[in-house]
Amino acid sequence: MVGNYVLRLFFVLCIGACLAASPLRAEMNRTLDPVVVTGSRFPAVESESHRMVTVITAEDMRARGAKNLFEGLSKTGGLAFKTQGPLGLSNGGMTSDLSIRGLPGGELVLVNGMPIQSAGGASYDLDTIPIEQIDRVEILKGAASTLYGADAMTGVINIITRQPEEVALTNMHAEIGEYGYQNYSVGLSNADLTAGLTYQHLDDLHKIYQKTYLNPTSRSTPSHYDVGNTDRYGFNLSFSPLQDLTFDLLASYYRSGWQKVYDAGGKSGIAGQLEKQFTQQKYKLFTDLRYEKDRYRLKGFFSLGTTNVDYDVYGGKRVTDGSRDSWNKEYNAGASGDYRFDLPGDTALTAGAEYIYRAANYRYKYKEHHRHDVAAFVEAEKIFFRRLTLTLGMREQCIFPEKEGDDYNRWLPAAGLSFRLTDATRLFANFSTAFRAPTFNQMFNDSSRLVGNPNLRPEKGKTYEAGVKFTGRAVKIRLAGFYMDYEDKIDTGYITGVADKTYFNAGDYESIGVEWQADWQPFVGMRGPLHTLAFRCSGYWADPSAKDPDGQEYRPGPKFQSSLGASWQWKRVDLELTGTILAGREDFLDEACSLDITAGYRLPVGRLYIAVTNLLDEEVVSAGNQDPESSYQYEYYELPRLARIGYEVSF
């Protein structure tokens, strides 16, 4: 196996040696005060926003050892992860997700400002998006339905795709590692076009999931899941045929397999018996057309997601007629427009409207359902005394289902303040509201594991936030205290009068805490090997809590998450160290800690690097339930220590 790795790497090096390449990552160029588009409808300097907006670039994620977009974001402060398999892999209909400030199920995911989540299951499958296809991700914390409509309950994750470059550029990348890991990409870009292809592979893994039954009266047998070979393919395109007009396309496909095997112990089943085996395939497509000027923006988009699950074995019996196979399709299409008016007296007014058609079709669970989201939006911004900026916004959001379900009409106000204390320091505060209608899965799901509840009420929420932003030459600090309060937040569990696990409206659902982000370059401006040394620390501490319909209090998400790191570059060598901590988790899960390291060396042609994720080989539980009062406990595991070697070249 090692010999194969060496031969592959030698082949890649030979290709690179034939290319005239510019050095990669020649200098540490960390923008302390970037321009963002997520905190408002038009680009604005991040420090001047009255919201907490975190920016993480594709280069940042690659340097921290991330292998896809989901992993890159899970290493970002303020986000807690939950996944059923390695590399963010989903398990049938159970998909990975990222929660904000300890409250799961409230994040809205956008691509170039347009939603990719459907009204079916609200999943977003970020593991299918290669890092090579994006430019950066902007993360807005707190309720944001005034800006982005229904579903922006706890925050917004806005993925900005790669755009054409002013200078013609071609990139090639190859990476191999343990467990048969392979990652290859090629891309090109010029003033009008950027395009790329990616491929990723991982060999089969044993015991990525383990279930242990604790109830002695249970007739079930402990079991585990193995994961088969995983192959992912991706394609991205961004084309600007005219000035200010851009067409974007993201497409991906992956195939993997799972099998459930009985273990020894228990009153039924046979140890080693194959109880379940299936292959899953996912197809994802997103495309948009954007016309963006300084004063107005017009956008249209379409997204499609398809999941196929084909069973070979079910209940210990071979399936040959496809009777157990399942599939689902989710798609969105819509258009939006915004116009910005500059008025006398340091006043600006932004007005807009949008329409989104959402549909989903799940075999076995329910048939096709549709809904129409229509909204009008206005935001006014006024500057007083050249220091204080007041922002007031409101949205009228309407939702009309085509079949079962109620119509909804909600008014969603928001307000924000930003005060320039000094040239480097700003104080900010905001109040924002959120609203989300129940998804089709939550209302109509019908499976052996989870049933829908057609009587669910829509979720409502508020965020109160205040903090300080400091941007100096060598230091950047963001600190905010927040209180997030929700009514009728939808969760899953067992409730009185319902035999199966179902969805319910939780009571007293809230989170109070503090979030921070700090970047420090202690020797910036100095000469010598230390001038590029940089440290970072970001994360949150919160006290998320909720009550089920029976009045029992529980913790819906982690209390603490933090990402710490250090980076350094000198001449041809670069080094990046990243640590992630997740503690105070829900369902009695153990804390999750991992340490990743990446070291690179710039060759005369290209860059050679080594990356090790989970350096200390910790057992990281990515999801599960270890409640001692539960009839059984189960865990999903992240990959053990994974070492990779890679080469990248740009010319």
CATH number of the structural domain spanning residue 478: 2.40.170.20
Give the β-pairing of 502-505 and 507-520. unpaired
Q: For 402-429, b where at least 16 C-beta lie within 10 A, e where not — what string?
A: eeebeebebebebbbebbbeeebebebb
Count of domains for the chain: 1
Q: Which residues pair with 262 in a beta bridge?
A: 223
pLDDT of residue 521: 93
pLDDT of residue 141: 93
Q: Kindly state the DSSP code that residue 5 receives in the 8-state scheme.
A: H
pLDDT tens by residue, 68-123: 899 899 888 889 988 887 888 888 767 888 999 988 888 999 999 999 988 888 88
At residue 345, does pLDDT exceed 90?
A: no
Judge whether 219 and 249 are in contact, CB under 8 Å.
Answer: no
What average pLDDT does the segment 516-520 reach? 95
Higher pLDDT, 245 or 215: 245
At residue 499, does pLDDT exceed 50?
A: yes
Band the pLDDT of 12: cuts 50, 70, 90: very low
Angle at the Cα of 206 (from 1 to 212), degrees rounded to 5?
A: 165
Q: What distances in angstroms separate CA 492 from CA 83, 133, 294, 504, 642, one per listed residue?
A: 17, 34, 44, 6, 34
pLDDT of residue 598: 96
For residue 524, the tally of other CB atoms under 10 A from its CB is: 18
Q: Which of 273-277, 321-325, 393-397, 524-528 has the highest mean pLDDT?
A: 393-397
Instruction: Determine the 3-state secondary structure of 71 from DSSP.
Output: helix
Q: Is the dihedral of CA 198, 204, 209, 211 positive or negative?
A: positive
What average pLDDT does the segment 388-403 reach? 93
Cα separation, 204 vs 227, in Å, equals 5
Q: Is the dihedral of CA 399, 405, 406, 411 positive or negative?
A: negative
Q: What distances in angstroms separate CA 558 from CA 170, 385, 544, one per listed residue?
A: 42, 42, 7
Portion of the chain with pLDDT greater than 70, in percent: 92
Higher pLDDT, 449 or 254: 254
Q: What distances in angstroms separate CA 176 from CA 455, 482, 495, one per listed residue?
A: 50, 43, 48
For residue 65, the tally of other CB atoms under 10 A from its CB is: 25
pLDDT of residue 432: 96
Of 24-38, 421-435, 479-493, 574-588, the range with the lowest mean pLDDT is 24-38
Cα separation, 470 vs 518, in Å, equals 9
pLDDT tens by residue, 208-228: 878 776 555 555 678 888 999
Instruction: Determine the 3-state secondary structure of 325 from DSSP.
Output: coil
pLDDT of residue 446: 80
Cα separation, 413 vs 379, in Å, equals 10
What residue numbers bound the domain in which 560 lies? 2-650
What average pLDDT does the segment 508-532 reach? 91
At residue 562, does pLDDT exceed 60?
A: yes
pLDDT of residue 265: 63
Q: Whole-number mean pLDDT of the chain?
A: 87
